[in-house]
Amino acid sequence: METFLLIICVVLIALVLLQSNKASDAGQIITGGNQDLFQAQKERGFELFITRVTAVVGAAFVIISFVIMFFS
């Protein structure tokens, strides 16, 4: 079970790194550079897929962690 959790951890790290970088856009609030920052922008295509897979893998990580904690 711990091996499966390790695989989930590596996959989760890779998925988080694949997501688009929205933090650099948030830094432009101070300088007033990005007017489109707070407009409604929907994720589409690959970005939406990565976001959903990250949520599923994150939930699996939490569930497996609790299972290991309760049964060890």
pLDDT of residue 7: 96
Q: How far is CA 12 from CA 4, 5, 17, 28, 71, in A?
A: 12, 10, 9, 28, 23
Q: What is the DSSP letter of 67?
A: H
DSSP run (H or E) holding 16: helix 2-18
Contact 61, 6 (CB under 8 A): no
pLDDT of residue 47: 87
pLDDT of residue 37: 54
Q: How far apart are CA 58 and CA 72, in angstroms?
A: 21
> 């893998």: which residue's tokens?
57
Handedness of CA 20, 21, 22, 25 (dihedral sign): negative
pLDDT of residue 64: 95
13-72 confidence digits (pLDDT tens): 999 998 876 655 555 556 665 555 556 667 788 888 999 999 999 999 999 999 999 998
pLDDT of residue 13: 95
